[in-house]
Amino acid sequence: MQKTMRDQAYKLRKMVQQQRFVTCNEEPGLGPRVIAVTSGKGGVGKTNLVVNLGLSLAKMNERVLLFDTDIGLANVEVFLGVTARYSVRDVLFGNKSIGEIVESGPHGLRYISGGSGFLELVDLDNTQRSRVLELLRYFRENTDYILIDTGAGISRNVLSFVAAADETIIVVTPEPTSLTDAYSLIKILVKIRMVPRLYVVVNRAGDLKEAQNTFQRLRMAAEKFLEVSLMHLGTIYEDRTVVSAIKKQEPLVISQPRSVAARNVEEITRNLVLERPHRDAAKETFFRKVLRVFGLG
């Protein structure tokens, strides 16, 4: 198991660090914030947070693109009430335009299905490479926030997007297994030397004390053993209206905007907006990383 994990970390690090320099006509400090939302294990409410966070940002007149890379599942589509006819693959390997793969949701929220995850599709011809550039140009020029809904766990596809993102939100619950799996995810990011700015959202906490204890356990372990700093972005408390909204296939911030959980999401959204990190011109952004992976420099 350990050998497999080491091999996986080595291959991913080589993939992301394959080329040293890239030129992509990208001006420092511009472009959307690219935020991956992930979790060490499934069933912690990750996709529910992604959808409602995206809608909360959209309600603040931010231009939001939700990018679903959770392969084989359509949870985002269920929450938004949309059906993706096409994915990024149809632009890269088919004859579809960007406009044909972008689905529209409430409050102007846009949604794209990642298909099999374009960060892993590295063997592209010149036409496909030009389409990657076209996609990135669309993302940069028409978006304030890109929220990437990754799969759960530590697969290569998940790690690719988390490592490439400028910032990452890790969703945990008070369950010990959730914290253990979240720690394992952070540990691998440290091992491949690709640690983005990390936020933590505690979901399904019974009260403030439980939320604080949950975050502190993960924070102290990450700082002590991995030398990684985590920021508590906020907490979503246990709320029956969440289950009701899921059953109705309606986003919580729209169907139950005054509920405890919806107000929690709005607070998390405000915290995220206020925590806008300084854009270091010397730091490689999501777009540069993608270009480097594809050899488009």
Q: What is the pLDDT of residues 11-44, one digit of tens each?
A: 555 544 443 333 334 444 457 999 999 999 889 9
Q: Are 132 and 122 in contact (CB under 8 A)?
A: no
Residue 222 binned pLDDT confidence (cut-offs 50, 70, 90):
very high
Q: pTM (2 decimals)?
A: 0.84
Q: Which residues contact 220 (CB under 8 A, 6 or more apart)?
A: none
Higher pLDDT pick, 297 / 55: 55
Measured between its terminal Cα atoms, the distance across the chain in Å is: 36
Tokens (6 digits) for 70: 């959770």
> Where do the domains of the chain lie?
30-286
Report how far residue 172's alpha carbon sits from residue 179's, in angstroms, rounded to the nearest whole number: 6
167-172: strand order across its sheet: 103-104, 110-113, 64-68, 145-152, 33-39, 167-172, 197-205, 231-237
| Residue that is written with structure tokens 């914030």 in the block | 33
Report d(CA 200, CA 214) in Å as an integer.
10
Written as one string, the DSSP assignment of 171-221 is EE-SSHHHHHHHHHHHHHHHHTT---EEEEEEEEESSHHHHHHHHHHHHHH
Lowest mean pLDDT among 20-29, 122-131, 198-207, 241-250: 20-29
The answer to whether the CB of 281 falls within 8 A of the CB of 5 is: no
CATH topology of domain 30-286: Rossmann fold (3.40.50)
Alpha-carbon dihedral sign for residues 40, 45, 50, 56: negative
Q: Among 21-25, 50-54, 133-137, whose mean pLDDT is lowest?
A: 21-25
- Mean pLDDT on 68-75: 68
